[in-house]
Amino acid sequence: LANRAFHPEDSIIDVAGVKVGGDHLALIAGPCSVESKEQVIMIAKAAKAAGANMLRGGAFKPRTSPYAFQGMGTAGLDILLAAKKATGLPIVSELMSAEYIEEFNEKVDLVQIGARNMQNFDLLKEVGKRCTKPILLKRGLSATYEEWIMSAEYIMASGNPNVILCERGVRTYETYTRNTLDLQAIPVIKRLTHLPIIIDPSHAGGKWWLVEPMAKAAVAAGCDGLMIEVHNDPEHALCDGPQSLKPEKYTELLKQVGEIAHIV
Ligand code: PEP
Ligand code: MN
């Protein structure tokens, strides 16, 4: 179902009125985790003013340590909804358990399946069957293209055809960066599938100053969007501060990206 051979034209996915794919760039920005209503609304307004067209925020967080902040849960989703009311930006948030699918159907516009759950096949099947919203499927930490595409296939074969892929860096021998951004994923995925592919340079590099050059390279390489972590106070963020951009930096980045997108 994902195979380009049986569907030659690019798929365009509609996320609450925002088109992704074709010539439409998804510009997703927001904090790693929802921390408070004031925080999310402040960031959402700044992201929108910069030109973002979707708001991200984790309410359920897949943390490496069980002692780290695990997210606000459903209270976080309600905060995202308040930010959507204030700005009109559609909401992107990660689903970790099938238990919450109906709640996500009500509150979230683009349902993220995180890298760590890319091969949680039972979750993929349930999302395919029960999720009424498009899915943002992140690439697993060390997943091959074939494995990643097969995970999209699980969702599609179970009944949800609206899948957007997200490259977020893969594990390599390099430890200086958090992961290694695989820009080759853009042309490869476009050759093998008709699905949109967006790039998350924040989780790829793990450092805020890597975000801008990698975002520009990704747009030049033909990606269908960018998901970028933006935080008003990265030094005190509860999660992923070191890779988060302040709103002013994000504004600058979108200006530069805009110039590249017009040339390409
Ligand atoms: C995230 O987007 O906040 C996240 C946890 O990403 P990943 O699943 O790519 O690590
Ligand atoms: Mn994060």
Q: How far apart are CA 28 and CA 49, in angstroms?
A: 13
Looking at every residue in the chain, the average pLDDT score rounds to: 97
Tens digits of residue pLDDT in 94-104: 999 999 999 99
| Distance from residue 251's CA to the centre of ligand 1 (Å) | 22
pLDDT for position 123: 98
| Distance from residue 88's CA to the centre of ligand 1 (Å) | 24
Ligand nearest to the Cα of 240, by number: 2
Predicted model pTM: 0.98
pLDDT for position 261: 87
Ligand nearest to the Cα of 244, by number: 2
Pairing between strand 18-20 and 13-15? antiparallel
pLDDT for position 264: 58
| Distance from residue 6's CA to the centre of ligand 1 (Å) | 31
Ligand 1 atom at minimal distance to the Cα of residue 239 = 3
Distances (CA, A) of 260 to 25, 103, 215, 223, 257: 12, 38, 10, 12, 5
Mean pLDDT calculated for residue range 145-153: 98
Pairing between strand 135-138 and 110-113? parallel
- Structural domains in the chain plus CATH codes: 4-61+69-263 (3.20.20.70)
| Residue 48 tokens, joined | 């929108």
pLDDT for position 147: 98
Tens digits of residue pLDDT in 115-132: 999 999 999 999 999 999
Q: Are 143 and 188 in contact (CB under 8 A)?
A: no
**Who has greater pLDDT, 262 or 194?**
194
pLDDT for position 66: 96
The model's confidence at residue 262, banded by pLDDT at 50, 70 and 90, is confident
Ligand 1 binding site (Cβ under 6 Å of any ligand atom): 32, 58, 62, 114-116, 138, 168, 203
Got the DSSP string for 33-73? B---HHHHHHHHHHHHHHT--EEE-BSS---SSTTS----T
pLDDT for position 75: 98
Contacts of 144 (CB under 8 A, 6+ apart): none
pLDDT for position 263: 65
From the list 109, 108, 119, the residue with the least C-alpha distance to 74 is 108
Tens digits of residue pLDDT in 154-177: 999 999 999 999 999 999 999 999
The model's confidence at residue 38, banded by pLDDT at 50, 70 and 90, is very high
ipTM over 0.95: yes
Ligand 1 atom at minimal distance to the Cα of residue 114 = 8
